[in-house]
Structure 1
């Protein structure tokens, strides 16, 4: 099984795309996870740059925040179609809202399935606070009811939501792992979605918990003879990344931490 590693655009938005893509290539990533602009000229420049660098592309959706459900559906559809037009490896979407009903969120999941069928682009739904999948026990309900629901596992969110390392929610975690096709390798902890620095010894328990979850995903994919698994090192920019008081200086380099996570997992799963 091949494992490909992706770099997030998040946190590098102020870097010109051509400079960013060269930096990604030099660091050893296989591709980039990012959204796409609606403007066709800008979209072409990004996709052409990826092709020139020999980098693969995961499309990321997060922009639909409209509260009114009907408008939310329309914007969600437009954004997924725009991302699909870029012919990504797949689309990773932060879907719905935590306060929408089950049926409303299911309608969005069904819409994503329809778009996937019409475009031929696979769509995964990310476990994420504020979305339908904001907590392990809630996401478990959707996974149990929707047989073909496939996810991006970012379990850091669930640790934060549950204020625990989910030791009392193992059934929901196991179900999520069984439906995972993509990993966001951010490390969370009971009081937050991102530790300050996963290299620091005080975060060993948090890192070990996340590694154990990712190990199970990898083992399951290997047992299934899956041809591919993708991982995005997605430690985020401020305010995910803590800042020092008054000076607002980052306590660590986001870029360095993400490269560390990529190299750690590449060595672990080689």
Structure 2
């Protein structure tokens, strides 16, 4: 679970972190130190230090708690390549690296988030596995920053926080449309949903596209409220029928 550092000591803490880092190694020229740190967070299941949250970058640890639990319990990313879309502070990307992912690419359309995730990956010693790229804030461009022929074993995304319904639909449609090119044949797209209506929309889209759909965990969707907190995870895979190849279970 995440723990919040009191704001009164944030400035001193951040200066201290920079001083400690400076004593251990030269200042990294590939990192951006120009953004204000608005909060520091300790996440129990992530070892090596605290996460820094830069200005304008959301902190979604509670929303993605279920994803992290599943990643560890079911070893979902061990020895696999991972793409995280809209990474924010880099929490899921860095956690995936610590849980044994062989390669992690994280994207975000916010330059501050890119700087933040890169800083956190470096400070937590995961930047040999985790690379962060600038994506797009356009919901209809979830794969911005990814090469046309680049594919991954796992795709992670928090699908519906702070999005209007039309933008959410655009993101989900584009996300599923891109699985054929960006998800490996045996791979899975793990979509974290904080709204019941998001899951219902995904069910319809998956059915229309003949994509295998599975609700992970023990949530009873019929009895669930509209707000799901922490988020519920949906596993969607490539079509069983396209390219004449069955989708592995």
- For Structure 1 versus Structure 2, the TM-score category normalised by the shorter chain is 0.3 to 0.5
Which has a greater percent of strand? 2
TM normalised by structure 2 equals 0.36
Which has a greater percent of helix? 1
Ranked by relative contact order (alpha carbons within 8 Å, sequence separation 6 or more), the top structure is 1
TM normalised by structure 1 equals 0.34
